[in-house]
Amino acid sequence: MRIILSLAIIAASTVPSLALPICSGGHRADRKVTCIVDGDTGWENGVKWRLKDIDAPEISHPECKSERRDGIAARDRVAALLGDGNYRLEAHGTGYYGRELVKITLSNGQDLGQLLLREHLAQPWPNHANPWCR
């Protein structure tokens, strides 16, 4: 079961897919979509979230070709890890762009952000450089 926790539960649902869809189209809040934007951003039942304390490579405005390639790899890994619907999103306030800052715990108890760091698909946030374009 997928859950966003804040002061109240924002969303709970089960999705029998193998991977979450990649976000497309507008009006995501109105459509209450659940999808992945990139390695650190997604939507859960119409609520936009960003993983707390990590930074994944950019896809839409990369600084170099390798950043885009690594960004797609991070996005696809997150979509696959969350695809079974068995994860928990815990809210930790609102970020700079109005996104819900979250920690995501996978069904096996692993923290998604820490897993992405170990797999070199993200770096700690705040950061001071772009390691994907060196």
User: DSSP string spanning 13-62?
Assistant: E----SSPPBP-SS-HHHHT--EEEETTEEEETTEEEEETTEEPPPSSS-
Give the tens place of pLDDT for each residue, 24-59: 999 999 999 999 999 999 999 999 999 999 999 999
Residue 66 burial (10 A CB sphere; 0-12, 13-18, 19+):
middle
pLDDT band at 18 (very low <50, low <70, confident <90, very high): low
User: pTM for the complete prediction?
Assistant: 0.84
For each of the domains in the chain, give its residue range(s) and CATH number, in order of start: 2-127 (2.40.50.90)
Give the tens place of pLDDT for each residue, 57-88: 999 999 999 999 999 999 999 999 999 889 99
Residue among 100, 80, 89, 67 at smallest CA distance from 18: 80
